[in-house]
Amino acid sequence: MTDAAVSAQPAAPPHWAVVAGRLFVIFMGPSLGGLAPLGLAMDQIKLAAHFGGGAGGTLQAGALFTAPSLAIIVGAPLGGYLAERFGYRLTMLVALLIYSVTGVAGLAIDGYVPLFASRIVLGLAAGAVMAVYLALASAWYEGPARAKVLGFAVASSSIVGAVALALGGKLVDLGGWRAPFAMYLVGFVTLAVAYLTVHGPFHKQTRAARAPGSPGQMRVIAQFWPIYLALLITSIGTFMPSAGGPFLLKANGITSATEAGSILSVGGYAAILPAAAYGFVRRWFSDWSLFFFIPALMGLGLIAAPAFYDWLALLATFLLIGFGTGLKAPVAASILMTNSPPDVRATAASLNFSCIFLGQFLCPFIRDLLGGPFGIHGAFIGTGATLMAAAVVIWAAGIGKEKPRMEPS
């Protein structure tokens, strides 16, 4: 057999264990990104007390909670650049190592400044992990298979987020403010699996050439500002339950961190179904129609939550918020990717991450801004009313302008 004939033969498919490991790494990409801030969601009250209590302690606890979100805004595009320059495998392994070490740092270090610095570095690493997991999914899967993998990755991140809220509350009750940092040990597990299964070769994707006479990249991207603004607003609503939920539940008589974590975690579990079912639902509903339901459901849940003191009723309100959250990531990405030409899609996706995590970073400050004069109940109602207004605008601007996609499943 000639050398040419040998090279023409298709490569043998990887072992099922390697495929499973690769899927685990992909699924953990968005999960680790979400865990970076959410790991301390149920720890805020204990952290605030650790830093002296009062407004100052609450502010410092909120800053530790949101610091990774701010860093992810920079870490995601930085991770994509490093992956193209130094390779997917090396970038992923280094990012996971940094993520794991800085994540568990709170088990050993003390003081606000060292903890804040570790949380910033954690966010940078988390952003890099999120960027590389998308690159790996594109390298290993194509077409419908890739869409399914990415959809289930979003669903799995909802599971991890829900578990983080429930487990975080238990850990706080059992071990105090340091205990939730133990959740970041999952980064070492992901690192071990990635070391064994993330291998190339990975081929660099060539940048699509811009057609002569077409508008520049910045001009094209600027046309999407309403989508980015809606993403920012809905992201604030997404994270209001984790940033303000513990304080709302305490004001409404739920004093156990374990019970509060169980109530708040239902939103993460509720997000699993719409995220996983998105590819099927869009056979009958356009992306713009689904985009309307995101702020509508979240706004309704946020407005209703302050009125209830019964745990079952509160559970129902956070369930509504979770349904809207599950649709946000796949619907927004689909609208951006469908309406942007190939030469700006990577930039559009990067700004998608930036808007989502900027909203997460701003959420505690919005909570405090509204909560100062109106209390935590006013913060929820004000945020919910803003989301309902956004839903009305989305309805007026987009509903009926796009036909449902009758794509084969």
HEC string of the chain equals CCHHHHHHCCCCCCCHHHHHHHHHHHHHHHHHHHHHHHCCHHHHHHHHHHCCCHHHHHHHHHHHHHHHHHHHHHHHHHHHHHHHHHCHHHHHHHHHHHHHHHHHHHHCCCCHHHHHHHHHHHHHHHHHHHHHHHHHHHHHCCHHHHHHHHHHHHHHHHHHHHHHHHHHHHHHHHHCCCHHHHHHHHHHHHHHHHHHHCCCCCCCCCCCCCCCCCCCHHHHHHCCHHHHHHHHHHHHHHHHHHHHHHHHHHHCCCCCHHHHHHHHHHHHHHHHHHHHHHHHHCCCCCHHHHHHHHHHHHHHHHHHHHHCCCHHHHHHHHHHHHHHHHHHHHHHHHHHHHHCCHHHHHHHHHHHHHHHHHHHHHHHHHHHHHHHHHHHHHHHHHHHHHHHHHHHHHHHHHCCCCCCCCCCC
Per-residue confidence of the chain (409 residues) as pLDDT tens digits? 444 444 445 556 778 888 899 999 999 998 998 899 888 887 888 888 888 878 788 888 888 888 898 898 888 878 877 877 788 889 999 999 999 999 999 999 888 899 999 999 999 999 889 888 877 877 787 756 766 777 788 788 878 877 887 888 888 888 888 889 999 999 999 999 999 998 865 644 434 445 555 555 667 777 788 888 888 888 888 888 877 877 888 877 777 777 777 777 777 677 788 877 776 777 777 777 888 888 888 888 888 888 877 777 777 888 888 888 878 877 776 776 667 665 555 556 667 777 887 887 788 888 888 877 778 888 888 888 998 998 888 888 765 455 444 344 3
Class of domain 217-401 as given by CATH: mainly alpha
> Any idea where the domains of the chain sit in the sequence?
18-202, 217-401
- pTM greater than the 0.85 cutoff: no
The topology under which CATH files domain 18-202 is Growth Hormone; Chain: A; (1.20.1250)
